[in-house]
Amino acid sequence: MKRVSLFGVIALFAVTAISIFAQNGGKAEPGRVKFAKGKSQTVLTGTLSGDQEQEFVFGARQGQTVYITNPDSLRFAYRLFNDTVSQDSTDLAEPTMEFVVPETGDYMLFVRRANTSPRSAKFSITLAIQ
C-alpha cells in the first residue's frame, strides 16, 4: 500500500509542477490582430507593469501604409518589425508613426512600458492599414 500512495504523491507532484511550468515558463504567442469586417483600423489594448511586453502580429501587403497612434507615449513604447525588415528595432515612444510596407507578410508590434515601474497601466494603441 505504501508504494501506491508514494507513487500517487509523486504523480500528483509531477502533474502540478508541469502545470506551473507550462503557465509561467514559456513565452506566449503574439495576439493576431483582426480587423472588423470593412474596417482598416483597430485599437490594441492591454495592461502592462514593470518590464512586461505585449506582442501583436498583423498581416500587410506591399505598398500599403501602416499608421500607429500611441496617445500615451510617455508611459508606453513600441517596436515594429518583420523577419527581414526592421523599422528601427529600438523602442519608439513617438505618438504617431507611419510607414509604407516594403514586402507582403506578417509584422510584429511589441508594446512595453517606457519605464519599469511595478505599477500596472493600461495602453490603447491604434493600428490602421490603408
Higher pLDDT, 123 or 25: 123
Look up residue 105 and give its three cell numbers: 507578410
Cα end-to-end span (Å), the chain: 69
CA distances from residue 27 to 62, 98, 110, 123, 127 in whole angstroms, order as listed: 29, 28, 13, 21, 23
Residue 23 forms part of a structural domain: no
How many domains would you assign to the chain? 1
Q: Give the predicted TM-score (pTM) of the model.
A: 0.70
Residues 43-92: tens digit of each pLDDT = 999 999 888 889 999 999 999 999 999 998 888 888 888 865 554 456 77
Residue 53 forms part of a structural domain: yes
In terms of residue numbers, what domain contains 56? 31-129
Longest dimension (CA), the chain: 71
Residue 103 forms part of a structural domain: yes
As a whole number of angstroms, the distance between CA 111 and CA 66 comes to 16
Residues 17-41: tens digit of each pLDDT = 444 344 444 456 778 898 889 999 9
Residue 96 forms part of a structural domain: yes
Q: What single-letter DSSP state applies at residue 130?
A: -
What's the average model confidence in pLDDT over 5-28?
44
- Say whether 118 sits in a helix, a strand or coil: coil
pLDDT for residue 6: 47
Residue 122 forms part of a structural domain: yes
Q: What single-letter DSSP state applies at residue 70?
A: -
CATH number at residue 114: 2.60.120.380
